Amino acid sequence: MRVYCRECGNKGRITNTNRLSRDYTELYCQCNDAECGHTWVGGFGYRHTLSPSAKTASQMAFQLVKSLAPEMQRDLLKELEGAR
């Protein structure tokens, strides 16, 4: 990930990170130009999903099926096997 110094426009580097939550991380940055010496805190965050995680989808399906009554689970299994 590239960061740029807002003061002089040179490339900077990330010297440290601080994960504040699952969706947001603070980035401690330093300008690569020794004559500038600017240091700052930026941020990196989650915005929105483009394609859902397969793990999330299968986990959701599993939880959903688990919440069904045993008889409904059996019916669903039969239906799924019939659909193959």
- Applying CB under 5 A, the residues found at the interface with Zn ion are 5, 7-8, 10, 31, 33, 36, 38
CB of 14 to Zn ion, least distance (A): 14
In order of 50, 60, 73, 83, the CA distances from 14 in angstroms are 27, 36, 51, 52
Nearer to Zn ion, 10 or 73 (CB): 10
Number of H helices, E strands in the chain: 2, 4
CB of 35 to Zn ion, least distance (A): 8
Cβ atoms of 14 and 1 within 8 Å: the answer is yes
Nearer to Zn ion, 6 or 74 (CB): 6
Compute the least distance from the CB of residue 2 to Zn ion, in Å. Answer: 14
Decide: helix, strand or coil at residue 63. Answer: helix
Based on CB atoms, which residue is closest to Zn ion, 35 or 79? 35
